[in-house]
Amino acid sequence: MSNVLIKSADIVGKGRRDVLVRDGRVAEIGSVSEKSTVAKDVEVVDADGLVLLPGLVDLHTHLREPGREDAETVLSGTRAAAKGGYTAVCAMANSYPVADTAGVVEQVAALGRAAGYADVQPIGAVSIGLEGKRLAEIGAMAQSAAAVRMFSDDGHCVHDPVLMRRALEYVKTFDGLVAQHAEEPRLTEGAQMNEGAVSAELGLPGWPSVAEEAIIARDVLLAEYTGARVHFCHVSTARSVDIIREAKARGAKVTAEVCPHHLLLTDEAARSYDPVYKVNPPLRREADVAVLRAALVEGVIDAVATDHAPHAPQDKECEWAAARPGMLGLETALSISVLALGGPAEVDWDVLAERTSRTPARIAGLEAHGRDPQPGTEANFTLVDPSATWTVVPEGLASLSRNTPYAGMELPVTVQATFLRGRATVLNGKIEEETHS
């Protein structure tokens, strides 16, 4: 089914139109008569009451393959992505083996194509083995079939200022960028949660906000000094937002993402000692959540990125300190982004599309994604029901893992359909089992 007529969808909240898709691209937009299409093997999707968004693009996904296929695979992770309205995901480099060679990034890209649920753009490691010592073969990964543009040691900070400088100078040659996990490692040794009143009481070693802010400040300066692009992963503190705002005002080539959980949850959740709430960077204070939300509306934060981090049960069903950090995100990100942008009644769909699709596609260099429907564009869309709600049931998620912090929560907005090059990966709210029609 790559010929589709989407009837009367509200296009990014700007008004109802019909969208006719042929051979994976938008053929016609406006008022399209069904009669003219029935004979031509076109499936009609009634989108009355639904909002059409450009397919969501995630700058920060852990697909766990190769290496931890018990937690997630490229197939299961991209099915979760499609269910969440995504048409493209950027796969982080911390697999086993690490995506620090052309071979691994090409393998991940190929697995994504074979799965067919979302475009998978591999992110390459900055340093060999994410060890922060020697540069990985960035050029080889850039020139590989995976055409890597974004590099990150995510999970680890590129904390050595010399290595960071060299990486920035290096990626500049092909307009690449470094996505920095901003965490000064000496300030966070043994850290378990946000340092503050709650950690003081719980006796869990604190992760001070300044450990993030110090690296962001340094890397803003390095970005300006080298003229290269830096992207800040999972920005979590109010002061980080200030630094990024000032940097952008000066013209530094910096961009930033925020995770859904940092837009909704706070360190109070740690009181349960349930490691489903353990994540890195950690959940912060209510005041940080408010500033991050405002920064997302304003655009100081460019994008919502999930940091989707599936973990096997044994890595979460344990004491807090022994648990691995990270939480699922792909299937809940849209709903939480809507909440953070004012709720389903108040949300500006154009801003939502900007932060969850267009801007992340632009940052990642994914030309075919993040585009509103125009004749000739690839048909990468999602159709969402703004008036529906759903309850998060971990067992009902498409991910192989269950570590969602939103279990039992009722969230606004459901994904009714997702189209990747005109082919439905999700239809009527259900994942299509056959993606290669």
Please give the annotated binding residues, written as ranges: 60, 62-64, 94, 154, 181, 234, 280, 307, 311, 325-326
Report the nearest approach of other proteins to the CB of residue 270 (Å): 8
> Exactly one of 307, 315, 372, 385 is catalytic; which is it?
307
Contact with other proteins (CB under 8 A): which of 286, 318, 367, 393?
318
Question: φ, ψ for residue 138 (rounded to 5)?
Answer: -60, -40
Contact with other proteins (CB under 8 A): which of 36, 321, 348, 374?
321
- Cβ–Cβ under 8 Å, residues 401 and 76: no
Report the nearest approach of other proteins to the CB of residue 20 (Å): 54
User: Residues annotated as binding site for substrate?
Assistant: 62-64, 94, 280, 311, 325-326
Task: Kindly list the distances between the CA atom of residue 90 and the CA atoms of 66, 118, 315, in Å, as whole numbers in the listed order.
Answer: 15, 10, 24
Binding to other proteins by residue 221, rule CB under 8 A? Answer: no
Report the nearest approach of other proteins to the CB of residue 342 (Å): 30
Tokens describing residue 386: 């703004």
Report the nearest approach of other proteins to the CB of residue 92 (Å): 27
DSSP 354: I
297 versus 407: smaller Cβ distance to other proteins = 407
Binding to other proteins by residue 331, rule CB under 8 A? Answer: no
Q: What single letter denotes the amino acid at residue 284?
A: R
- CA 48 to chain centroid, in Å, comes to 28
Binding to other proteins by residue 33, rule CB under 8 A? Answer: no
221 versus 318: smaller Cβ distance to other proteins = 318
Report the nearest approach of other proteins to the CB of residue 317 (Å): 5
DSSP string, 356-383: IIIHHHHHHT-TTSS----TTSB--EEE
| Region near other proteins per CB under 8 A, out of 163-171, 226-234, 269-277, 294-302 | 269-277
169 versus 274: smaller Cβ distance to other proteins = 274
Binding to other proteins by residue 280, rule CB under 8 A? Answer: no
94 versus 192: smaller Cβ distance to other proteins = 192
Q: How many residues bind other proteins (CB under 8 A)?
A: 23
- Cβ–Cβ under 8 Å, residues 307 and 285: no
262 versus 316: smaller Cβ distance to other proteins = 316
Binding to other proteins by residue 314, rule CB under 8 A? Answer: yes
The side-by-side arrangement of strands in the sheet containing 56-61 is: 56-61, 86-91, 119-122
Task: Kindly list the distances between the CA atom of residue 136 and the CA atoms of 94, 102, 169, 291, 295, in Å, as whole numbers in the listed order.
Answer: 13, 10, 14, 36, 33
Residues in CB range of 164: below 8 A, 6 or more apart? 158, 178, 180, 218, 219, 222
189 versus 434: smaller Cβ distance to other proteins = 189
Q: What single letter denotes the amino acid at residue 336?
A: I
Residues numbered 167-206 forming contacts with other proteins, rule: CB under 8 A: 192, 195-197, 199-206
Is 307 annotated in the active site? yes
Residues numbered 131-160 forming contacts with other proteins, rule: CB under 8 A: none
Binding to other proteins by residue 214, rule CB under 8 A? Answer: no
Report the nearest approach of other proteins to the CB of residue 200 (Å): 3
- Cβ–Cβ under 8 Å, residues 260 and 340: yes
Binding to other proteins by residue 121, rule CB under 8 A? Answer: no
Task: Kindly list the distances between the CA atom of residue 196 and the CA atoms of 181, 206, 208, 282, 410, in Å, as whole numbers in the listed order.
Answer: 21, 7, 8, 11, 29
Rounded to whole angstroms, how far apart are CA atoms 37 and 41?
A: 7
314 versus 389: smaller Cβ distance to other proteins = 314
Q: Is the dihedral of CA 79, 279, 304, 147 positive or negative?
A: negative
Task: Kindly list the distances between the CA atom of residue 325 and the CA atoms of 227, 275, 398, in Å, as whole numbers in the listed order.
Answer: 33, 8, 20
Contact with other proteins (CB under 8 A): which of 70, 242, 317, 350?
317
Contact with other proteins (CB under 8 A): which of 66, 132, 139, 208?
208
- Cβ–Cβ under 8 Å, residues 157 and 129: no
Report the nearest approach of other proteins to the CB of residue 316 (Å): 10
Question: φ, ψ for residue 96 (rounded to 5)?
Answer: -125, 105
Catalytic residues: 307
Q: Which spans of this chain sit near other proteins (rule: CB under 8 A)? A: 192, 195-197, 199-206, 208, 272-274, 314, 317-322
